[in-house]
Amino acid sequence: MLLDSNSLPAYGGSATFNSLPLDTQKRYGLLLLQNSDPSIIFSSFAAANPGGVSQMVSLSSSTSNNLVLGIEDQWAGGSASDNDFNDLIVNIKNVSLALF
């Protein structure tokens, strides 16, 4: 499944996707393609990122069917990153998924 930048909100905005084809019997990972550059891809699997650095962190999982991920858009191991993990927030609600 792909959500391209045209599907995502502008800075400070939000978007809701109510019917993504997610299968609760499968495990998922998340990839972020930085600035449409196929040579800069960050993964929810830290071992797949440069230096094994985490680019995505769980910010909350207050219930079993709600997951909030914070994503850092610059390489978290580099000096350009502010390591705030709030550059993109993904909130997966009302479905229990295995992620990471």
Strands 41-43 and 27-28: what pairing?
unpaired
pLDDT at residue 68, as a whole number: 84
* Digit-coded pLDDT (tens) for 1-49: 778 778 888 888 888 877 788 888 888 888 888 877 888 889 989 999 9
In the predicted model, what is the mean pLDDT of the chain?
82
Does this model's pTM top 0.75? My answer is: no
Place of tokens 């350009």: 80
Query: Which of 40, 33, 71, 35 shows the shortest CA–CA distance to 54?
Result: 71
pLDDT at residue 47, as a whole number: 92
- CA torsion through residues 16, 17, 19, 24, sign: negative
